[in-house]
Structure 1
Amino acid sequence: MAELENPIVMNKIITFLSSLVQRVAESNDLNSQFQIQKVSVFHGLTIPTISIQSYLERIFKYANCSPSCLIVAYVYLDRFTQKQPSLPINSFNVHRLLITSVMVAAKFMDDMYYNNAYYAKVGGISTAEMNFLEVDFLFGLSFNLNVTPTTFTTYCSYLQREMLLLQPPLDSIDASLSLGKSLKLHLCFDEDDPSHKQQQLAV
């Protein structure tokens, strides 16, 4: 979609995705008191000091991935959370999940991309860890990396609708997100359903 090339649009996408992922992480942080969650290779010992938005902006700036790559990374995160319900996004793993999803998306989508050592530097982790994260992420997705044009358009349309609610205040997004006790992203799509109807997550 040509409008993704617009820097203003991309800034809005990064802001919205950051807000969405942060709210999911914070919701699952609270749910961890009541529900058992696995500790995986994505889980850090401490919560990174860099904000999710600053981290995503850093990734987009230095990884030089295409705008479409960011959308595909979002699709991958959504798939991952559906396939791995015991590994919900939280404040301890969200940064590693983001850098890994973007790296995998760049490798699959873009004609030019960097090696794992470079993405590791961008993400602030070691190359060895980046390698482990990539393998675990791929297996977590069951190597389902293909994103059809229909799926891509569906996610883009969702983002476009939701970003309208960001104006003027970011807090207005509260009206559209009902994270509750969700272990997944706010919105999941049944990609096996040709109609691609939205599935509202249980609260």
Structure 2
Amino acid sequence: MVEEESSSMMPKLITFLSSVLQRVAESNDNLVDDDSAIETQKNSAFHGLTRPSISLHTYLERIFKYVNCSNSCFIVAYVYLDRFAQRQPLLPINSFNVHRLLITSVLVAAKFMDDLCYNNGFYARVGGISTREINFLEVDFLFGLGFHLNVTPNTFHTYCSCLHKEMLLLKPPLSNSLLTSSETSLNKASHLSFEEDEASHHQNQHQVAA
């Protein structure tokens, strides 16, 4: 019963997550004026020459439909994307890289979270790229994260709350106070939500190791 209810909620999660990513990507499209930063973006494996014709919502629905990863993987992928944006300020999430970042983040999340998952070749077909490309993207993404893959329960629930705020944003009527607070947390340049407490993260790592 719980699994059925969770599955029925997933399309809503897809809508909210795609809305967050779309807004962040559009806000970052014309953000960087520094020539060196632009060159860094163009040299990134995630940067496409053109904006993909498929919408972010449709792309995310396609991933959800075919990869069969657990529901929590999408939240963890959201966490990873925010960590990547924070650690790579010269590679802000925009319309030229968000699709590749998304398929890669879901792949890494599925490998970290699930006992079983499809191989890179399958994810490449779902994402519309080659197996060789997704192999490179996975490695670049992991190094971009600093291999910081663990997600604490507190962090997981905080990002769930961010998506819940997005749900309220998309559901009229909107109160001015809600709109202001949500825009502050979700529309930071290059970031999806907030900076995690790294000290808390390292403390949790020591507890796990002990």
Q: Bin the TM-score by the shorter chain.
A: 0.7 to 0.9
Q: TM-score normalized by structure 1? A: 0.85
Q: Which runs of 5+ in 1 are unaligned?
A: 195-203
| Displacement after TM superposition at 1:48 (Å) | 0.6
CA RMSD of aligned residues (A): 2.5
1:189 maps to which residue? Answer: 195
For 1:70 and 1:58, locate their aligned partners in 2 and report how far apart those are by CA, in whole Å.
Answer: 13
For 2:87 and 2:146, locate their aligned partners in 1 and report how far apart those are by CA, in whole Å.
Answer: 8
For 1:53 and 1:102, locate their aligned partners in 2 and report how far apart those are by CA, in whole Å.
Answer: 14
The structure-2 alpha-carbon separation of the partners of 1:184 and 1:158, relative to structure 1 and needing over 3 Å to count, comes to closer
2:48 maps to which residue? Answer: 44
| Displacement after TM superposition at 1:168 (Å) | 3.7
Q: Superposition pairs for residues 80-91 of structure 1, below 5 Å?
A: 80-91=84-95
8 Å contact kept, 1:24–1:90:
yes
8 Å contact kept, 1:4–1:10:
no
The structure-2 alpha-carbon separation of the partners of 1:193 and 1:131, relative to structure 1 and needing over 3 Å to count, comes to same
Cα deviations by residue, 1:80-99 (Å, 9 ceiling, x for unpaired): 00100100001110000000
For 1:78 and 1:174, locate their aligned partners in 2 and report how far apart those are by CA, in whole Å.
Answer: 21
Q: Superposition pairs for residues 16-35 of structure 1, below 5 Å?
A: 16-33=16-33
Q: Superposition pairs for residues 1-203 of structure 1, below 5 Å?
A: 6-33=6-33, 36-37=37-38, 38-39=40-41, 40-168=44-172, 175=180, 176-178=182-184, 182-185=189-192, 187-192=193-198, 194=200
Query: Percent of aligned pairs with the same residue?
Result: 65
What amino acid is aligned across from residue 12 of structure 1 in structure 2? Answer: K
The structure-2 alpha-carbon separation of the partners of 1:58 and 1:42, relative to structure 1 and needing over 3 Å to count, comes to same
The structure-2 alpha-carbon separation of the partners of 1:174 and 1:150, relative to structure 1 and needing over 3 Å to count, comes to closer
- The range that moved more, 27-36 or 59-68, is 27-36
| Displacement after TM superposition at 1:182 (Å) | 0.8
Cα deviations by residue, 1:156-193 (Å, 9 ceiling, x for unpaired): 122223312321479x99653246671222x1132325
